[in-house]
Structure 1
Amino acid sequence: MKSSVPEDQWTAYFKNNPPKDADMKDEASFEAYIEEQINHVVENPDKLPSYKSQSNRMRSIFEAQGTMDMYNGPAMKAARRNMLAGETKVETAESRETTSYQVTLKVGSLEVRFDSELPTDVWKRVVQDVPFAQRTESKLEGALRVQAEKMIVDAAYRNKFAEVKAWWERLRTESNPAVAVQGIVCAGHHAEEVRIHNNSLEGVNEGIHVGTSANQMNPNRVYHSGTVYISGNVMSLRRPVEQAVGVSGIFVGNCRHLTIENNRIKVPTFKKTKSQPFHHNWGVLIHGYLGRMVVVRQNRTQHCQTGIGVFALPQSESGNMWVAEYNLAEGASTVINAPDFIKSNNIS
């Protein structure tokens, strides 16, 4: 939901007012529970510090004007409710993702950091199986990779660790559908006109990739796509279980005339954790030598770290019609990373 109250205050509130089993029965029941809690806070602003200060300011205005009857009326109650939480929507997560951990290992004077589906204490035990001769700066990383491979191919070794055994069983028994590396690809040295319209893509790490590359016979020559028009596509992204972060929904490289509009890019299996805040880096990523026209508008991305990224080589404001406008990047850390002069009315 959209709210003027910081997320951490809502988290603390719901921790103290958790749903009952009946509230979790289905989407309608949970939505009713959420609505009940919102209305409870409207009547009891002290429950949320940020909303309390907002409510007190509004109440003081009506008290000063002697219009408390209006303040307590149904119209103002609805207004106060919408001020607290708007656009409330409940959706069922399609599947559960395992948690990623940021592992930090200290081995003598060395320190190793990496992401893993296994917690740090497991890796501390794994390190004990690394020979002392390999616990050096030049050899430790390779030795850990050998141990990781051993956990995968050697069942007896894997079963020494209860957490590793459980992780392996989840991979084996849970639904881990195949992931396509890319959905639609247009590549090569020449692409004068590219039109990609109204496709539905499911279970892809990268939805659409349009990029011409350098000729090996003439590596100094820059190849461009001509006119590229990408619109009306819906894609559901999924990162492979062995990959920490996915790539992008739509990628376009060197291009003379580009339009990307009315696409929806979503990460339906997304589960945010402290160590794994995002599963895909980009909703839309444009990178390379760009021509006079770049239009990116009315796209909706969900749970990508950055909604829109535009990186021009070189960058120039004069004589170009470049615009990125009216894009919605839900749940993004950064809505748009692009030159300031092309950004207009993009929100999260």
Structure 2
Amino acid sequence: MSGIRTLGVLTSGGDCAGLNAVIRAVTHAAVLEQNWRVLGILDGSLGLIERPLRYRELHADAGDPLLLRGGGTFLGTVSHGDPFHFQMPDGSFRDRSQEFAAGARELGLDALVVIGGDGSMRIMTPLCQRAGLAMVGIPKTIDNDVTGTESAVGFATAVQLVADSLDRLQPTAASQHRVMVVEVMGRSAGHIALHGGIAGGADVIVLPELELSIEAMLEHIENQLQARRYGALVVIAEGARFPDAPDQPGAVGPWLAQTLQARGVESRCTVLGHLQRGGAPVAQDRLLASAFGVHAVKLLAEGRSGHMVSWQRSAVTEVAIGRIASSGPRLVCADDPLVQVARQLGIAIGRGRG
């Protein structure tokens, strides 16, 4: 029905746990169920742009269960270099989309599975259209900010890391009666901070989308310290905004700890950074990766390209990829049910911005 004989698969954007599990599922379904040839493109779109072309053929042994457990992506990935506006070594920019298309033709690709975030979907959609490639997207991002899906591959593992870190930091906060500030990833969307903060028993959660003043935070922390005398935990997303705070990842957490310290509250900061991207995927990410990979191949086999696989209401489905490519990131809303849960648990979390 689809006319596909050779399928390409690549990972694009930032790495996260569960990518190898997706590649494993795509290869298994394509080779064993559809009898397609599968080529893994190395380092995202660069594998088709650079010469010589960089790829590896994937066989049924790509279903090795070790891939289910491994972090990162054995195909490699890049989070820079828009092929339509590609920066060259001399600093100039060039449209290299035709090189991508030529590379796809040289390999005989009929379709491409793109494992990426919302940025990758926006770039890869017109790129595949120009190359005449059928495309299906699979959402992956620890930020969980892709429109059209309730969960993306990598998110659950990142949240687990945050919760585990809070478990380890709580005893030292209690022992020394201090505030432990934990900065997590989330440049524009605070899903990691929200989910990880609730799961880890945070006292304060600071998100990019919701406004929480230093004064309100201080009052809440001081009340907690007076009532319980065993420290406090603050989770802050790297994109949280304050008038005097530095606007860069890895800086707002230390700034907040120093600000609290200057206001008389003993505070220390831990920046989790890229720890949230690494490690073996938790069970939920393995399940999601497996289901997404199989469904992506099913869509292509049915001739239904131009979709992104999606997780909605505890089931795998799909959404038109044009909707993703034209949308911004999926943000935490002030009326998000988990925001209400946080408030009912006595967590200071702020209100919607203006």
Shorter chain as denominator, the TM-score bin is under 0.3
Greater share of helix: 2
* TM-score (structure 1 length as normaliser): 0.23
* TM-score (structure 2 length as normaliser): 0.22
Higher relative contact order (CA 8 A, sep 6+): 2
Greater share of strand: 1
